[in-house]
Chains A and B, each alone.
Chain A
Amino acid sequence: MSGAEAFCRERPFKANWPVRCAWFAAILYALYAANYLDVSWARFVVGLGNGATFLAEMVPPDFSRWQLLIDNLIETVEIAIIASAFGVLFSLPIGLLAARNLLPSWVTWPARTFIALCRSFHPVIFAILFVKAVGFGPLAGILTLVFASIGFIGKLFAEAIEEISLKPVEALRASGAPFISVIIYAVLPQVLNRFIGFASYQFDANLRNSTMVGIVGAGGIGGTMFAAFQRFDYDFLAAILISIIGLVMLSEFISIRIKRVFQ
């Protein structure tokens, strides 16, 4: 009895020794790992010097091969647009099939597994797989980004559907409407503007990723960029980087405009 009273008067914030030990161990491990991987101040300072030389060689950017640049940029944009179109097209039904509040688990389970598979690998890994499967070129890049889009939009779309109000769904079921009509009238209106938001965000991401899949040979400006790196062609590299920045900013501008239309 008195033991319980004493317990009540103890300090409100008790020292948690296991947590303290865990923190100590974590810091110790970080120091060990830095040492093991040869992360040292000396190397960092040398690296700063190298970086400065690298940057100096980038100026002035070399736009003399602008035709190659433009061709590559167009291919990059085409990859992004085609991949986004098909990605959005496929993720709409797959997202619907994955919504657990509308469909039984034997339908949502496979759909959710497929989405999880699409999300489990970084686009670079998908790109390597597809280059192996269909060969070098934009097709591999497109397939990569289609899967990335399904993973992203499909998951968010399914979650958006799971958050809708089920009251109108109940009302339309009670009126004898077919299931697809219930989806069209009671579900889609509630999630359509969010879906457009996800799709335009994914287009943005696809544009940035389509500059990258070329590094492993899946088409677009990435391949040229990687070649410029390896040839120490830093002034041309600067030109490529600047045009990628310009492209992404342009798409940002356009997507803001598009979203305003659907508000």
Chain B
Amino acid sequence: MTTRTGNALAAQPERSLRVEHLVKAYQPGKPVLNDISFEVRGQNSVAIIGPSGTGKSTLIRCVNKLIPPTSGAVFVSGENISRLSGRALRHARRKIGMVFQEFNLVERLTVMENVLCGRLGYVSVWQAWRRTYPQDDIDRAFALLESIGLADFVHQRADSLSGGQRQRVGIARAIMQEPHVLLADEPTSSLDPKTSVEIMEVLVQLSEAHQIPLIINIHDVELARRFTSRIIGLSQGGIVFDGPPAELSNDHLKTIYGGEAWLQ
């Protein structure tokens, strides 16, 4: 593993995510995800669409082992995550940014504290307790908040913000990790249509600006078409479509979601 990391540093490969033959079965013999394989490299945004309960959230959580996969492997920039545990897993998770449906901020902490939470994997417990982050982190946090229009809210508590603002803080927290891949789990589901579009813009912009591959779970097919360059359709635990939005036809949507009345 040391040699692999060494090589990776020497070669500076593209930031990437590769999922190989991923299977997750909560109950033996009844897989929620069945043999999922895909790869995302470089500056690329992918939407994962599919009906509720088809394992989209499970898939995303299997990537950073919040949910341990049953079998298969996940590689982030070439490093195999699935075998890791303990400290090695924590260090690998720093490379995986995550944005949540319900923002998952610490309500009683300020916006700045929440954004700096993205650095907790890099600073010691003692530094975290005393809030002595490296000046570099603080400067980046200020710049990031400025760029997403939250400069005036730095010292406000997270619970005083609106939904859209909270999700921006959640995105900033993920970007602070300097991740190699950014996972977003239904990032717009708790937001109104206008704010949803704004949040998607922020996500895509930041992932492009920082060259981070972006994987978004989303159930709004129109948003997926509009903002991503590739769509993966998931149905009954398997990939049934993988291609650019232009190729996603109504027939595909019928296969993914079933029925057709809703397409009228």
Contact = CB atoms under 8 A, between A and B. Distances in A.
A185 B98 contact: no
B169 to A, nearest CB: 11
Contact of B94 (A171, A175, A192): A175
Interface in A186-236: 186, 189-190, 192
Nearest to B170: A171
B104 A175 contact: no
Residue of A173, A174, A176, A192 ringed by the most chain B CB atoms within 10 A: A174
A182 B90 CA distance: 12
A185 B105 contact: no
B121 A177 contact: yes
A184 B120 CA distance: 10
Specify the main secondary structure of chain A where it touches its partner: helix
Bin chain B's interface residue count.
20 to 34
A176 B88 CA distance: 10
Interface in B171-191: 173-174, 177
A24 to B, nearest CB: 53
B90 A170 contact: no
A244 B56 CA distance: 64
Given A181-B120, A185-B109, A185-B128, A176 B94 contact: yes
Contacts of A178: 90, 120-121, 125
A171 to B, nearest CB: 4
Contact of B96 (A165, A170, A174, A180): A174
A170 B185 CA distance: 13
Bin chain A's interface residue count.
20 to 34
A175 B120 CA distance: 7
B106 A185 contact: yes
List 3 A-B pairs, minimum CB-CB distance, nearest first: A176-B121, A177-B120, A176-B93
28 contacts: A167-B104, A168-B105, A168-B106, A168-B107, A170-B104, A171-B100, A171-B104, A171-B117, A171-B170, A173-B66, A174-B93, A174-B96, A175-B94, A175-B121, A176-B90, A176-B91, A176-B96, A177-B90, A177-B117, A177-B121, A178-B90, A178-B120, A180-B125, A181-B125, A182-B120, A185-B128, A190-B106, A190-B108
Interface of B: 64, 66, 89-94, 96-98, 100, 102-109, 113, 117-118, 120-121, 123, 125, 128-129, 170, 173-174, 177
Interface of A: 165, 167-168, 170-178, 180-182, 184-186, 189-190, 192
